[in-house]
Amino acid sequence: MGQSLAAIVANLIGGLIFFRVDQFIFTSRSLAAQWEVKENISCVDCGKVARGYRLVRSGDYDKSNDAAPGFRCEECSKKKTETLRGKGIKVE
Ligand SMILES: [Zn+2]
């Protein structure tokens, strides 16, 4: 009896730890940059039709309500990322 009680308590503690870890992961994910990826877009910078990326949200930078979102090809999105990083916006 004592042993199974110990097992139950151990399970509860283990569950609590995992719960906290999950919450932490969830929290840090919601703070991380959100990217949208779309196939066959024409890049707003160079006009190339390719897989496009756009930064939707990152901290104070929020384009989630953008009516006409601009996608960039991988190359241009890297350049844009550098620009944003230079402005102090977290992009990763
Ligand atoms: Zn481009």
| Tens-digit pLDDT string for the chain (92 aa) | 678 888 988 888 888 777 766 666 666 556 678 889 999 999 999 999 999 999 998 888 899 888 888 999 999 999 999 998 999 888 87
Q: Quote the ligand 1 centre to 28 CA distance (angstroms).
A: 30
Q: Quote the ligand 1 centre to 32 CA distance (angstroms).
A: 24
Q: Quote the ligand 1 centre to 49 CA distance (angstroms).
A: 8
Nearest of 72, 71, 74, 54 to residue 62 by alpha carbon: 54
In the chain, where the domains are located: 1-31, 34-86
Residue with token string 């190339």: 48
Residue with token string 């719960």: 19
pTM, rounded to two decimals = 0.62
End-to-end distance of the chain based on CA atoms, in angstroms? 51
Q: Quote the ligand 1 centre to 46 CA distance (angstroms).
A: 4
Exposed e or buried b per residue across 39-71, where buried means at least 16 C-beta atoms within 10 angstroms of its C-beta: eebebbeeeeebebbbbbbbeebeeeeeeebeb
Q: Quote the ligand 1 centre to 68 CA distance (angstroms).
A: 17
